Amino acid sequence: MPPLTITENAPLAHYTTLGVGGPARHLVEAVSEEQALEALDRASSEGWPVFILGSGSNVLFADAGFPGLVLRIATRGIVAGDSNRLTAAAGEEWDAFVRLSVRRELAGIECLSGIPGTVGATPIQNVGAYGEEVGDTIRSVRVLDRKDGTIRDLSNPDCGFRYRSSVFCTSERERYVILAVTFELEPEGLPSVTYPDLESFFSGRAAPPSPWEVRQAVLLIRQSKGMLLDPTDPESRTAGSFFKNPVISEETLRDTEAAARRLGLLAESQGLPGFKTAAGDYKIPAAWLIERTGIKKGFSTGHVSISSRHALAIVTRPGGTAAEVLEFAQQVRGRVQSVFGIALELEPVCVGF
Ligand code: EPU
């Protein structure tokens, strides 16, 4: 095994899509599970705090950086099990994995095309889009348990998947290092076309689209909303959605609608957009709430703005700082709170604040 390379004072801005954040005191890019374990052993013997990083597409590091070890998981490898199972190393690029699955005509993750990040990051927030979530098709997650140093497989129920949530970011936060993820997909399965944007894309078609066609459609839709990372596009310096879509009770929904009508933001005949969840609550698009407070796409202060193509994405410009991003996000949050009485939750992981 090649010796472990530890980089000192590595600028974290280079490792995140937002392009802000100070240095990591120590940084290791682990290309094998053994290297990851060795780095973790080193951190525990030195007493360094540890942060596990994938491709940095959903993280906001503070300007002061991180005072311990940032362990970047860069392991590779995809293994096909029975005809419908695929296991990918945590460091595999997510979208390359989706592409491979649809090429094999496996259905189940085609709607998750074009999402930046690594495979190992997807279970943490139960990544979802266009009606699919990874929690629907994950069979198991191979983890290193930092409590006792063992490596084992967690089953799907062990992961506690919910909307943008799992045990990995709630009850068992920081306990596990994800090493690999196994998906159980549908051979020759029909792709999921339930989300309004996709339904209208394929409306009028007699035959159902293939997983490959759904992938192409999702890529086009994401691109039109600036939700496709493109290094040549300045609007790509984002962390995707910066806020979660709030899930509210029916009572809160009625109160919010009444408040919006009083302020003239909603016609008497109109209701809030959104849909009813299986649990009977309502999921409301945060982007809609933001725009109704008067914050328009492209709204900007300093080096930070709302994307000109999607109100849920915050974009940074070169020279911006993490403090500016957080302050800007708090300003948006404050507006939504004061107009609608709804507290938006931040979606990216914020480190060091
Ligand atoms: N809308 C606006 N203004 C906008 C964009 C959207 O008012 O600029 C309203 C519209 O009413 C629209 C509704 O919001 O119909 C929903 O918009 P969209 O379909 O773009 O989805 P979203 O709810 O804003 C969520 C996910 C995205 C995911 C899309 C597609 C969250 C926090 N975000 O966004 O995920 O790609 O659905 O399924 O759940 C991410 O998490 O980083 C992410 C990009």
Query: What is the predicted pLDDT for the residue at 329?
Result: 98
Tell me if 289 CB under 6 Å of ligand 1: no
| 146 carries an active-site annotation | no
Q: What whole-number percentage of the chain has pLDDT above 90? A: 89
Question: Around Cβ 267, how many Cβ atoms within 10 Å?
Answer: 9
- Domain ranges in the chain are 7-73, 79-224, 234-351
| 101 carries an active-site annotation | no
Q: What whole-number percentage of the chain has pLDDT above 70? A: 100
Each residue of 248-293: pLDDT tens digit?
Answer: 999 999 999 998 999 999 999 999 999 999 899 999 999 999 999 9
Q: Which fold has domain 7-73?
A: 3.30.43
CA of 180 to the centre of ligand 1 (A): 28
Average pLDDT along the chain: 95
The residue whose CB lies within 8 Å of the most ligand 1 atoms, and thus the one to mutate among 194, 312, 332, 346, is: 312
Residue nearest to atom 13 of ligand 1 (CA): 285
| 347 carries an active-site annotation | yes
Query: What is the predicted pLDDT for the residue at 190?
Result: 79
Tell me if 310 CB under 6 Å of ligand 1: yes
Catalytic member of 25, 142, 164, 237: 164
For residues 317 and 3, what is the distance between their CA atoms, to the nearest angstrom?
37
pTM value? 0.93
Tell me if 49 CB under 6 Å of ligand 1: no
Each residue of 148-199: pLDDT tens digit?
Answer: 999 999 999 999 999 999 999 999 999 999 999 999 999 877 778 889 999 9
Q: Is the pLDDT of residue 127 over 90?
A: yes
Angle between helices 211-224 and 94-103 (to 10 degrees): 150
Confidence of residue 3 (pLDDT cuts 50, 70, 90): confident
Which distant-in-sequence residues (6+ apart) come within 8 Å of 246 by Cβ? Answer: 283, 284, 286, 289, 342, 343, 344, 345
For residues 161 and 81, what is the distance between their CA atoms, to the nearest angstrom?
23
For residues 309 and 273, what is the distance between their CA atoms, to the nearest angstrom?
19
Tell me if 285 CB under 6 Å of ligand 1: yes
Confidence of residue 20 (pLDDT cuts 50, 70, 90): very high
Query: What is the predicted pLDDT for the residue at 206?
Result: 86
Each residue of 101-114: pLDDT tens digit?
Answer: 999 999 999 999 99
Each residue of 37-82: pLDDT tens digit?
Answer: 999 999 999 999 999 999 999 999 999 999 999 999 999 999 998 8
Query: What is the predicted pLDDT for the residue at 288?
Result: 96
CA of 81 to the centre of ligand 1 (A): 34
Query: Token pair for residue 81?
Result: 């099990």
- Please answer whether residues 181 and 87 qualify as being in contact, where contact means their C-beta atoms are separated by less than 8 angstroms: yes
Cα separation values, 171 from 54, 76, 154, 158, 202, Å: 21, 28, 15, 11, 40
Residue nearest to atom 11 of ligand 1 (CA): 288
Q: In what order do the strands lie in the sheet with 66-73?
A: 7-11, 23-30, 66-73, 50-53
Tell me if 102 CB under 6 Å of ligand 1: no
- Which ligand 1 atom minimizes the distance to the CA of 310? 8
Domain spanning 234-351, CATH architecture: Alpha-Beta Complex (3.90)
Q: What is the mean pLDDT of residues 112-124?
A: 97
Query: What is the predicted pLDDT for the residue at 1?
Result: 72
Catalytic member of 33, 172, 213, 347: 347
- Which ligand 1 atom minimizes the distance to the CA of 311? 8
Q: What is the mean pLDDT of residues 9-24?
A: 97
Residue nearest to atom 29 of ligand 1 (CA): 129
- Which ligand 1 atom minimizes the distance to the CA of 347? 32
- CATH class (in words) of the domain with range 79-224: alpha beta
Q: Is the pLDDT of residue 229 over 90?
A: no
- Which ligand 1 atom minimizes the distance to the CA of 127? 41
Which one is predicted more confidently, 158 or 208? 158
Q: Is 20 buried (19+), middle (13-18) or exposed (0-12) by CB count in 10 A?
A: buried
CA of 166 to the centre of ligand 1 (A): 20
Confidence of residue 328 (pLDDT cuts 50, 70, 90): very high
Confidence of residue 316 (pLDDT cuts 50, 70, 90): very high
Query: What is the predicted pLDDT for the residue at 230?
Result: 87
Q: Is the pLDDT of residue 326 over 80?
A: yes
Residue burial 120-138, b: 16+ Cβ < 10 Å; e: rest: bbbbbbbbbbbbbbbbbbb
Which distant-in-sequence residues (6+ apart) come within 8 Å of 105 by Cβ? Answer: 187, 188, 210, 211, 212
